[in-house]
Chain A
Amino acid sequence: MKMQFRIMALTLCVLALAVVFLRFTPAGAAATGQIVGTVKLDGQAPHQKPIDMSKDPACAQVRNGSIASQESVVVGANGGLANTVVYISQGLTGNEAAIQSQAASIDQKGCQYIPHVVAMNVGQHLTVLNSDKTAHNIHPQPNPTGGNAQWNKSQLAGSGPIDVSWANEEIAIPVKCNIHPWMRAYIAVIKGPFGMSNDTGSFKLDNVPPGTYTLTAWQETYGTQTQKVTVGTGKPSTTDFTFKAK
């Protein structure tokens, strides 16, 4: 009798532990894949004009003399196209990776938005900072029919961060500064996994459950391209995008 009880207790413990492990394992963590790739520009990038910020000398103060350029097409070594948001536009079931708990952030520094493009999840928090010695007025301009509300807020020099989040997917919300007309940024608000290409054009999507998806790459000047991709749990799936310069 005593032996039977021991076995039953042991089995129950094992079962309990299994339940515990299964419950607290992030959905899909046990079996997710990755998508990697590069985004390239085929052709000559349009001239990225330098930005004359003389209208607000406080901008130059922070920049220490460095000249900013517009960032509508940023091309790195080997034709890599930066600031391209890559995300899954079709095929998600809704059980994907949880919302990133860490806040995304965007800074206003040297009278430019850093980074130029922010990719984040629906519901994720975004912290807006002002590291400049001048006031900014951050003004996201979402699509009026998309469900995200338009707002703008003045952020004085030395004032604290602004915290916001977005309820609806939108790729991407243009952001301008009402005070400094050259400032532009984009906020891509995405459901599900996403990645953004760096200045070599490389991007990576993590925590993608196995399956077949439509992958979309969005770049502010060249628009979107889509490709089908199948993701498994082993080696990362590779997808490359090439945008054609006009």
Chain B
Amino acid sequence: MAGKIFALVVLLITLATAYCVIAHVWWMPVDISVHGPKIDHQIEETVLVAGLLFIAGQLVLAAFAFLYGHGGNRIKQIPGGAKPLIIFAFVLVGTEVVALSSIGAKAWGAVYFEAPDPASLKIDVQAGQFAYYFRYPGPDGKFGALHPDLINEGNQNYFGIDADHDADAKDDIVTAELAIPVDKPILLSLHSKDVGHSFYVRELRVQQDFVPGLNIPIHFTATHTGRFEIVCTQLCGLGHYNMKAYLSVLSQSDFEDWLKKQAAAQ
């Protein structure tokens, strides 16, 4: 009896889980990046492959618990012993593994192994306990040097730029929101002011940690306009839960208006 109940419980759990995944009860938001479909495709492949293994494994376990609970019959051994199981593991799982790796390499490569477009809009991103700030190079296209000893948050000099003496820094535009034009390649340079942080935008299918001491580049092109959340996913202290900024993907003209307004407010 216990075997039959166990089988039923496992069956119900398997069905409930499969339903939630297939019906996308909780699922990824619509992707808005050029490389996103590759990642989404990889996730779907993995759902299929892993999902089939999950269902098969649980159902076989349930079936055996259901069938062999009585104990009247003669003990039987699985025909072939362990050999078919080992072969199955190597062949099936091995094939899956090779397939997922090689296809997955393309998806990963789309994010990291392709060089950024030389015409990318470059934006400097600084993460610090507990906010993100963004810096656009301004009309001269150059970023001023950063001087951590000049950081003064009360005066909103978050980056520590020396606007008075550094010609490159004079026209830098510092914002609390990341606005980008749609359908244009973007190159972000991530650095941290203090501890580890991370840059995660679900819709962009981008997640990259900030490592203190390093400048880490990531690039992407957004394909839809809208307002999206950038949230921190690397534990950084008490305000980690509340560390976010908004990503605004705008039309080219809206973006230029926005940038003008931000420049005027510097």
Contact = CB atoms under 8 A, between A and B. Distances in A.
Q: Are A and B in direct contact (Cβ within 8 Å)?
A: yes
Interface string A166-195: 000000001010111110100000000000
Interface stretch (B50-58, B68-76, B243-251): B243-251
A181 B130 contact: yes
Given A174-B154, A184-B154, A179 B176 contact: no
A68 B35 CA distance: 39
A160 to B, nearest CB: 19
A70 B242 contact: no
A181 B153 contact: yes
Contact of A137 (B128, B154, B239): B239
B17 interface: no
B238 interface: yes
Contacts of A180: 130-131
B210 interface: no
Contacts of B129: 178, 181
B246 A51 contact: no
A47 B245 CA distance: 24
B245 A70 contact: no
A44 B175 CA distance: 24
Interface stretch (A52-60, A83-91, A93-101, A210-218): A52-60
Contact of B266 (A49, A54, A135, A184): A49
What band does the interface of chain B fall in when counting residues whose beta carbon is under 8 Å from A? 20 to 34
Interface string B229-244: 0000000011100111
B49 to A, nearest CB: 39
A72 interface: yes
Contacts of A179: 130, 238-239, 242
B220 interface: no
Contact of A178 (B176, B177, B237): B237
A238 B54 CA distance: 84
Interface of B: 128-132, 153-156, 158, 175-177, 237-239, 242-246, 265-266
A54 B175 CA distance: 10
Interface residues of A, number: 25
A180 B153 CA distance: 10
A26 B115 CA distance: 78
Contacts of B245: 54-55
Contact of A70 (B128, B131, B156): B156
Contacts of B156: 49, 51, 70, 182
Interface of A: 47, 49-56, 70, 72, 134-135, 137, 154, 174, 176, 178-182, 184, 220-221
B246 A176 contact: no
Contacts of B246: 54-55
Nearest to B237: A178
Contact of A135 (B153, B176, B177, B242): B242
Given A50-B265, A72-B154, A174-B154, A181 B128 contact: yes
23 contacts: A49-B265, A49-B266, A50-B265, A52-B175, A53-B176, A55-B131, A55-B242, A55-B245, A70-B155, A72-B154, A135-B242, A137-B238, A137-B239, A154-B238, A176-B153, A178-B130, A179-B130, A180-B131, A181-B129, A181-B131, A182-B154, A182-B156, A221-B155
A154 B86 CA distance: 56
A174 B132 CA distance: 22
A186 to B, nearest CB: 9
B228 to A, nearest CB: 12
A140 to B, nearest CB: 13
